[in-house]
Structure 1
Amino acid sequence: MEIRKLRNEEFEESLSLSEYAFQYKVTGEDRVRAREKFKPDQIWGLFEGEGIGAQLTLLPLQAYIQGRPVSMGGIAGVATWPENRRQGYVAHLLTHALKTMNEAGQTLSFLHPFLIPFYRKFGWEIYCEYKKYTIPVGKFPHKTEIQGAVKRGTADIAVFQQLYDTFAMRYNGTLLRPEQWWKERVLDEDTHTGVFYSEQGEPEGYVLYKIVNQELIIDEFIYVNELARQGLWTFLANHDSMITAAQLKLVPSDDILPFLLPDPRVAQENYPYFMARIVNAKAFVENMTFKVPGSVQDRVLYIEDTHAPWNNGLWRWTVSEHGKVSLTQIEGDRADADLVCGIGTLTMLLMGYKRPLETARYGQLAGTAEAVEWLEALIPQAETALFDFF
């Protein structure tokens, strides 16, 4: 068995595996473009005998955590032939990817799961949800007289970038988007754009949308203040002669739009979305800022992580008066710990998706009541979101 990066000449074999595994076909000009975008240095393959037995893509990305960029490895395109399934091929690739990310200083990893229970076994855990709304035209927000204007058809990525960053930094787990990401992953020829400008000419919000079968399909709705939100909705409501409804996708889970509607009874769906995993617990935790607990400045936590053994074991958490934590690995076992949890639970807690008290209530965090309350006080409240897919 060999695990290595792919080579240029293995494009066709790699694409054939992806086509088979994900049930799609790339033909004609699309196949030519796929070859041009092929980045074999980002694709790891497992070889046993002839040909690729399994593969995954490891993307070098960054994510916002507490408003700061953190190096993150994005896992995508995990695929194997059916005759190779249940032979541990993907397990070997995931373990290798963790080691590779750790060596590259990527303290965090994200992936979109085909099956959540499968990836939970390897330490990934759900870290964000998104809402989806379907709003009939008759239930749109009221049109208002706005001091400002929406310019349709704006294509200036720098404007989108500025607004997106301001909005995205409010959440843990949103992506930093380089210019190429906007060009390849966000904007396309079918996407309409509208940017709200204040009376002073400052961009304060944007919407990315399509019109399909008399519906507005809103891919992104980003705003930095209430005026921009109302201005963008008034712009969208002016499509009322062309459409019957609007669909909003990938809405952050803390969004309260239905409450703000004249009639909140609209179709609302909630989806668990991406999974996250801390790759290096010491580096990740020591890069965060925590609340300063009361008189007790340190606790001992046992982290269970069989697939990244550098995380596994007993750790002493010491909190400074400035809210910085130092982690020191110490000798001992589970019985010596104040708190015990798996790496997936720890990831979920530190991302802000769930809280220690509720996690302990359902048995995913073990420890004394005093220690759980200490951790509850230590971790700042946060919201999570992701507006992208890979």
Structure 2
Amino acid sequence: MEIRQLHADDFEEGLGLSEYAFQYKVSGEDRERARAKFKPDQIWGVFEGTSLSAKLVLLPLQAYIQGKPVSMGGIAGVATWPENRRQGYVAKLLTHTLQTMNEAGQTLSFLHPFLIPFYRKFGWEIYCEYKKYNIPVDKFPRKAEIQGSVKRGAADIEVLQQLYVTFAARYNGTLQRTAEWWKEKVLDEDTHQCVFYSQQGEPEGYVLYKIVNKELVIDEFVYLNEKARQGLWTFLANHDSMITGASLKLVPSDDILPYLLPDPRIAQENYPYFMARIVNAQAFIENLSFHALSGIRERLLYIEDEHAPWNNGLWRWTVAEHGEVSFTQILGDRSNADLICSIGTLTVLLMGYRRPVEMARYGQLSGTHEAVDWLEKLIPQAQTALFDFF
């Protein structure tokens, strides 16, 4: 067995595995376009002899954490032939990929799970969820007289990017988008765009949407202030003669739109979305900002991480006067630790998806009451979100 990156001449075998595993077919001009975009250096495969048995894609991405982009390895396209399943190929690929990301300085990794329990075994954990709304047209937000204007049509990617960055950087776990990502992953020929501008001509929000079977399908709703939110909703409500309602997806979990509706009783869904994993705990933690603490400024944390041994073990977590931290591995075992948790639990705590007191209450974080309270005060409150898919 060999684990290696694919080569240019592995295109057909790699695409064939994807077609079989994900049940689609690429033919004709689409196949040639796929060949032109083929990036074999981003695909890792398990080979038995010359035959490809399993593969995954490792995307070099950036994610916003505390408003700053962090190098992140995005895992996608995990696939195995049915006759090769349950032979540990994907497990070996994931372990190898963790080593690869660590060597590349990618301190974090995201993936969209086909089965959450499977990836939990390797240290990935749910870090965000999204809301989905279905709003009948008679329950839309009220139209408002707004000082500003909405321009419909193909906006410059630079304008959309400017608004997206300001909005997305408020959350932990959103992607830093490139112009190529906008073109390949976000916008398509069926997507309508509208941008809200202030009276001074400054862009303050946008909506990406489609009209499908007399329904507004809203893919992204981004606004920088309440005026922009109301202005965009007034624009959408002016479709009332041609639609029966609207569906919104990938809405951040902290959104309160239903409360703001004249009648909040609409169909709502909360859905666990992507998983995250800290690849290198020391590098990730030392790049974060924390609350300054009075009193005890040091605790010992034991991290359980059997698939990334450089994380596994006892760590001294020291907080300086202004919140800067050092995170140093030391000799010792669980009996020496003030706090004990898995790498998955540590990930969701530092991302802001869950709080230390909450995780301790349900047995996901072990430690004395004083140590848990120390960690609760140390980690800033945050919200997580993701508006993309890969």
Q: Structure 1 length normalisation: TM-score?
A: 0.99
1:352 is displaced (CA, Å) by 0.2
Preserved contact between residue 64 and residue 171 of structure 2 (Cα < 8 Å)? yes
Give distance in 2, aligned partners of 1:15 and 1:266: 42
Which residue does the alignment assign to 1:209? 209
1:51 is displaced (CA, Å) by 1.1
1:48 is displaced (CA, Å) by 1.3
Deviation readout 1:245-275 (Å, 9 max, x if unpaired)? 1000100000000000000000000000000
Alignment of 1:233-312 (within 5 A): 233-312=233-312
Give distance in 2, aligned partners of 1:68 and 1:15: 35
Report SS of the residue matched to 2:174. coil
Give distance in 2, aligned partners of 1:18 and 1:200: 50
Deviation readout 1:184-239 (Å, 9 max, x if unpaired)? 00001000000000110000000000000000000000000000000000000000
Preserved contact between residue 155 and residue 195 of structure 2 (Cα < 8 Å)? no
Give distance in 2, aligned partners of 1:325 and 1:365: 20
Instruction: Name the aligned partner's letter for residue 303 of structure 1.
Output: I
1:96 is displaced (CA, Å) by 0.6
Instruction: Name the aligned partner's letter for residue 291 of structure 2.
Output: K
Preserved contact between residue 5 and residue 43 of structure 1 (Cα < 8 Å)? yes
Alignment of 1:104-253 (within 5 A): 104-253=104-253
Preserved contact between residue 154 and residue 195 of structure 1 (Cα < 8 Å)? no
Instruction: Name the aligned partner's letter for residue 212 of structure 1.
Output: V
Which residue does the alignment assign to 2:31? 31
Which residue does the alignment assign to 1:71? 71
Instruction: Name the aligned partner's letter for residue 11 of structure 1.
Output: F
1:278 is displaced (CA, Å) by 0.1
Q: Does 1:52 align with 2:62?
A: no
1:49 is displaced (CA, Å) by 2.3
Report SS of the residue matched to 1:311. coil
Report SS of the residue matched to 2:34. helix
Q: Does 1:21 align with 2:28?
A: no
Deviation readout 1:138-175 (Å, 9 max, x if unpaired)? 00000111101100003300000000000001000000
Preserved contact between residue 139 and residue 261 of structure 1 (Cα < 8 Å)? yes
Q: Does 1:361 align with 2:357?
A: no
1:31 is displaced (CA, Å) by 1.4
Q: Does 1:388 align with 2:388?
A: yes
Runs of 5+ unmatched residues, structure 2: none
Of 377-386 and 30-39, deviating more is 30-39
Percent identity between matched residues is 80
Give distance in 1, aligned partners of 2:316 and 2:139: 54
Report SS of the residue matched to 1:359. helix
Report SS of the residue matched to 1:309. coil
Give distance in 1, aligned partners of 2:334 and 2:55: 36
Give distance in 2, aligned partners of 1:198 and 1:51: 59
Preserved contact between residue 128 and residue 384 of structure 2 (Cα < 8 Å)? yes
Alignment of 1:292-371 (within 5 A): 292-371=292-371
Give distance in 2, aligned partners of 1:218 and 1:180: 22
Give distance in 2, aligned partners of 1:324 and 1:199: 42
After the TM superposition, which segments of 4 or more aligned residues of structure 1 sit over 6 Å from their partners? Answer: none
Alignment of 1:83-122 (within 5 A): 83-122=83-122
Give distance in 1, aligned partners of 2:362 and 2:351: 18
Instruction: Name the aligned partner's letter for residue 59 of structure 1.
Output: L
1:35 is displaced (CA, Å) by 1.1
Instruction: Name the aligned partner's letter for residue 138 of structure 1.
Output: D
Preserved contact between residue 155 and residue 194 of structure 2 (Cα < 8 Å)? no
Deviation readout 1:30-83 (Å, 9 max, x if unpaired)? 212111111101000110123111000000000000000100000000000011
Instruction: Name the aligned partner's letter for residue 218 of structure 1.
Output: I
When the two structures are aligned, how many residues end up with a matched partner? 390
1:25 is displaced (CA, Å) by 1.3
1:292 is displaced (CA, Å) by 1.4
Give distance in 2, aligned partners of 1:375 and 1:74: 28
1:28 is displaced (CA, Å) by 2.0
Runs of 5+ unmatched residues, structure 1: none
Report SS of the residue matched to 2:216. strand
Instruction: Name the aligned partner's letter for residue 174 of structure 1.
Output: T
1:322 is displaced (CA, Å) by 1.3
1:24 is displaced (CA, Å) by 1.2
Which residue does the alignment assign to 2:82? 82
Report SS of the residue matched to 1:190. coil
Of 261-270 and 321-330, deviating more is 321-330
Give distance in 2, aligned partners of 1:144 and 1:27: 49
Report SS of the residue matched to 1:9. helix
Instruction: Name the aligned partner's letter for residue 11 of structure 2.
Output: F
Instruction: Name the aligned partner's letter for residue 243 of structure 2.
Output: I
Preserved contact between residue 5 and residue 42 of structure 1 (Cα < 8 Å)? yes
Report SS of the residue matched to 2:377. helix
